[in-house]
Amino acid sequence: MVEVTASNFSEYFSEIEEAIRQCDFIALDTEFTGLKIDDDANKPSLFDGGAERYAKLRETISKITICQLGISVFRRDQKQTSVYVAKTYNIPLFPRSFGPVDERFVCQASSLQFLCRYKFDFNKFIYEGLSFLNEDQERQVREHIASKAMFTGLERDLDEEALQRICSRVAEWLVSKDNVPVFTLQKSDMESFPLYVLSTELRGRFPTIWTTVDSNLKTIEVQRIDQGEREKRESEELTNQKQQEEQLVQRMLGFTRVFRVMKQCKKPLIGHNNLMDLMLVYDKFHLPLPASYTEFKSQLHAIFPWIYDTKHVIFRMRGAITEDTGLLQKTSLSEIYKELDSDKGRDLVIFPPAVMHAEGHTKYNGDSLPHEAGFDAFMCGFVFLRLAHIKTFKDVKSSEVIPCLFRRYLQSMEEYCNKVNIIRARINNISLDSVDYQSEKPELLFVRSRLMKKRLNIDQLAKWFSPYGNVDIRVFGKNRALAATNNFKCSRDILKAFRGHPTIYVAEYSIWRHSPLVRGILWSGAIVSGGLCILALVGSVKERKP
């Protein structure tokens, strides 16, 4: 691993760029400053489809920031066909302010405490974090530079009163009838303002002056000129400064420059439970997340045509493996990594590809640093490779397992491409390149009070159902409710337990689908779900990895 910061980024950029251009795939992970910005409104629910979940996450993601990003760039070794070499970059990111771009981001106390558990260095984040801009912000920075108001708002300690005293003197000279052509501000006049700052301030305030900074004598000469001459001189100066300003923009762009290389190269992008990562990357480096879920999907797909989520892959692949070997029961990234890196994991299918850290990237050799973004990215790439090998050769005779190109791995993983895991929702994953799958979750449960006059108590229902698993409940009217569960066993257990219950009646929603009365209620319920319905979420919810 190499740590890339604001101060060494210019040294590493071309290495990173080259690594991306030559690689087979990129694994990416982010750490961020908050998880749920709002306690209630944006809570994930088992009723959520893809669009609902996207809307909730978008609300959060627009307000938080990425504090650390890891990319691990994997390339098959050119000499040893079954060896992959990983170049891993761990990058603290910080949204540096400049002119009108002054990011406000939310920190959630528990999220920062979570980072503390993994020894996150907040000083490195804030002091040395690499800058980044999305396209909107880049436009603002460029406009700001063009407007020459460059230092307004930057120097927060600018002494407004002192500035006022200086401006008053210039104003007096400007309106005076004496016709003194040049007014010189001496060092002693400038009350500790940097020359360039003051010069810019003066030009901004007086449209018919020209200022010339003499940095040796530490003076500013102020001349009367007409607006035409002013514009001419500004345009000349602008041409000279273009290069310097472009350098400034490039410094502000920071990590966005890496993102743009990724966007150009369109290599497969791997993550673990990476919906939030993808949305963060889009929002912070590309453009603010669009309101439309389908627009997000199509735009993201245009940028990264091949996205893989190892959490989704595990869920789809593990059945037979778990039965045979007991492996892959847990789906947290570090558990999977540990298992696949163990002897038992290596033996799942013969001749798995070896993974080496590239020269100069050896900090992670023998080290385990879960929740450091670089290390998580590396683990994720490793896991993807091993799973791809298993998938490719699991039904092939041992004697026929031969080192193969990465392309072959990618072909065998095709069915998982652009499927991204989604937790505690009506669906198990979203499809980035097509309409989301229909639910693989159990039917909703329909609940009715047996005593027609008795109002259903949502807290009571929550208490009754929660021992059987995660259940979310919506109440309709006085005495009807729907319950969404996370798995079939939970639904079955609830149906069994409440058969013949004295006060509530519970059934699968499908039985009721054909009753016009109930259909009417549900339909109206669905429409007003933000308004009249009450949503109770039972149990604790975790969107974060695992």
Residues that bind its own copies (CB under 8 A): 33-34, 37, 39, 94-97, 100, 102-110, 112-114, 116, 121-123, 125-127, 152-153, 156-162, 164, 167-168, 170-171, 174-175, 204-207, 330-332, 463, 466-470, 486, 489-490, 493, 497, 539-540, 542, 544, 546
Nearer to its own copies, 171 or 265 (CB): 171
Nearer to its own copies, 137 or 392 (CB): 137
DSSP codes joined into one string, 171-198? HHHHH-TT--SEEEE-GGGGTT--HHHH
**Strands lying side by side in the sheet with 209-214:** 182-185, 219-224, 209-214
> Judging by DSSP bridges, how do beta strands 66-76 and 25-32 pair with one another?
antiparallel
Instruction: Compute the least distance from the CB of residue 483 to its own copies, in Å.
Output: 15
Nearer to its own copies, 106 or 528 (CB): 106
Instruction: Compute the least distance from the CB of residue 247 to its own copies, in Å.
Output: 20
Report CA 318 to chain centroid distance, whole Å: 27
Other C-beta atoms closer than 10 Å to the C-beta of 299 total 15
Instruction: Compute the least distance from the CB of residue 449 to its own copies, in Å.
Output: 20
Nearer to its own copies, 207 or 477 (CB): 207
Instruction: Compute the least distance from the CB of residue 477 to its own copies, in Å.
Output: 26
Instruction: Compute the least distance from the CB of residue 498 to its own copies, in Å.
Output: 11
Nearer to its own copies, 152 or 219 (CB): 152
Instruction: Compute the least distance from the CB of residue 165 to its own copies, in Å.
Output: 10
Nearer to its own copies, 315 or 351 (CB): 315
DSSP codes joined into one string, 343-378? HHHHTSSSSPPEEEEPTT-GGGTT---TTSHHHHHH
Instruction: Compute the least distance from the CB of residue 81 to its own copies, in Å.
Output: 38
Roughly what angle, to the nearest 10 degrees, separates helices 255-265 and 9-22? 10
> Judging by DSSP bridges, how do beta strands 269-271 and 209-214 pair with one another?
unpaired
For residue 133, which of 284, 267, 234, 328 has the smallest C-alpha distance? 284
DSSP codes joined into one string, 460-503? HHHHHHGGGS-EEEEEETTTEEEEEESSHHHHHHHHHHTTT-SS
Q: Taking a C-beta distance cutoff of 8 angstroms, is the pair 403, 351 a contact?
A: yes
Q: Taking a C-beta distance cutoff of 8 angstroms, is the pair 72, 88 a contact?
A: yes
374: left (phi over 0), alpha (psi -120 to 50) or beta: alpha
Helix or strand (DSSP H, E) at 380: helix 373-393
Instruction: Compute the least distance from the CB of residue 422 to its own copies, in Å.
Output: 14
Nearer to its own copies, 88 or 470 (CB): 470
β-bridge mates for residue 213, sequence order: 220
Nearer to its own copies, 105 or 505 (CB): 105
Q: Taking a C-beta distance cutoff of 8 angstroms, is the pair 429, 421 a contact?
A: yes
